[in-house]
Amino acid sequence: MITPNVIDERALLKSFVSGEEHAFDKIFRLYHPSLIFFAKRLFVNFDQIDAQQIVLDIFVKLHEKRETFESLNSIKAFLYISTKNSCFNAIEKEKVRLKRFDGYTSNFNESDDNNILSQIVLSEVYRELYQAIELLPEQCRIIMTQLMEGKTAKEVAEELSLTVSTVNSQKARAISILRNRLSGAGIALLLLYF
């Protein structure tokens, strides 16, 4: 004798396999809460991972493979095994992310914070200096840019087909203009170069 429960399961499976929305909805409501609980238990030490998203992705896969299932037990097994595998994959990715983060942050200490702050300030002063150089008259700008790259006045003169005295006079003119445009830190940096 076939019990009513078996008949309901067969009808549900048949409806699900044929793609009827109400059948998928019933299976979703039947297993979703327990799968969320299961995933959260696996993620007990990994609160950054979204159990809800993992389970929703599993249901998408279930729907895509709906025609391959022969029983509700095979659906249930698929849901739990897929959830477990996806959770373990997510945990491994999270472990790698945490390891990289720990490796990155372990290289810093309080003195490094001061060093980073110093580098930010220095970068901003360089930005200010280069912006001011961009506003110089063309020949002054070209000469100052090359001098900032570490070239000597002689090298700049040869490259631009100028005399060394012309390069030096343009440099002096540029420094005079820049002193009026730069902050104290910008002037200090300028003086370090020249």
The structural domains of the chain, with segments of one domain joined by +, span 1-110
pTM of the model: 0.52
From 70, 93, 61, select the one nearest 9 (Cα to Cα): 70
Torsion angles phi and psi, residue 153, rounded to 5: -60, -40
* Total residue count of the chain as it appears in this document: 194
| Distance in angstroms (rounded) separating the CA atoms of residues 189 and 194 | 9
Is 58 in contact with 79 (CB distance < 8 Å)?
Answer: yes
Chunk the chain into consecutive blocks of 10 residues (it has 194) and report each block's average pLDDT, rounded to whole numbers: 59 87 91 90 78 92 91 92 91 84 63 65 77 86 84 89 90 83 65 57
Q: Which amino acid is at 124?
A: E
pLDDT value, residue 32:
92
User: Which residues make Cβ contacts (< 8 Å) with residue 32, sequence separation at least 6?
Assistant: 55, 59
pLDDT value, residue 4:
46
As assigned by CATH, the class of the 1-110 domain is mainly alpha
What tokens does 32 get? Answer: 């979703």
